[in-house]
Amino acid sequence: MKQGDQQLATLYNEFEVPDQPGTPAPEKRKRKRRKNQPHFDRSESLYRMTGGIDLTKSDGLDALSVPEIWSETGTHVTKSPTVKHFCSWLCLAPHNKITGGTVKSSHTPHTKNRAANAFRMAAQSLMKSKSALGAYCRRRAALHDAPTAITATAHKLAKIFYCMLKRHEPDRPLAAAYYEKEPRDKVVRSLQRRTASLGFRLEASPC
């Protein structure tokens, strides 16, 4: 196993990398080692191959899922002019069927794309996470069901992945409280509109 990992590490080092002189080393983070994970620091190789963008720092993505995504997308996303094109190619964006101006269906099409499946697996791993994407996934599961929530979260992950590579910028995740507070704020705004239409005013109860 370790001999195979050494050969794999050699192959990673042979990849051409973007010309980014003085690229700092990625930040070291302690993560639980997954089954079949190589015995060398693959995240450092991935960081070097992108010229200084740590894709594994995004919630849900790690040193196993990123290479699987790259096996379909490559290390660049220049073939997709926009993030919408990228998500549509992955079949993670809703495929709207419109008849007479009315949306009859908005299901995402089935696909065997390995990158799309890797994004879905990453989204599934966030279901119990305390991250913002984990909170988003749980909220969507409560509104719809688990498969729909996983696809929606995978869609968000794909957008984050695309923007990190396209703009060459690190991910700046929202706080988990954002997706927990957002539904409450929507309910409050709805109640305020309804009470105002009836000539009343809604006030918060003092704690």
pTM: 0.69
pLDDT in tens, 54-64: 888 888 888 88
Residue 154 has pLDDT above 90, yes or no: yes
Residue 186 has pLDDT above 60, yes or no: yes
pLDDT in tens, 77-129: 888 899 999 999 998 987 766 666 665 556 677 788 899 999 999 999 999 88
* Chain centroid to CA 67: 15
Provide the pLDDT for residue 86.
93
Provide the pLDDT for residue 22.
44
By the 8 A CB rule, do 61 and 162 touch? Answer: no
Least confident of 23-37, 173-187, 191-205: 23-37
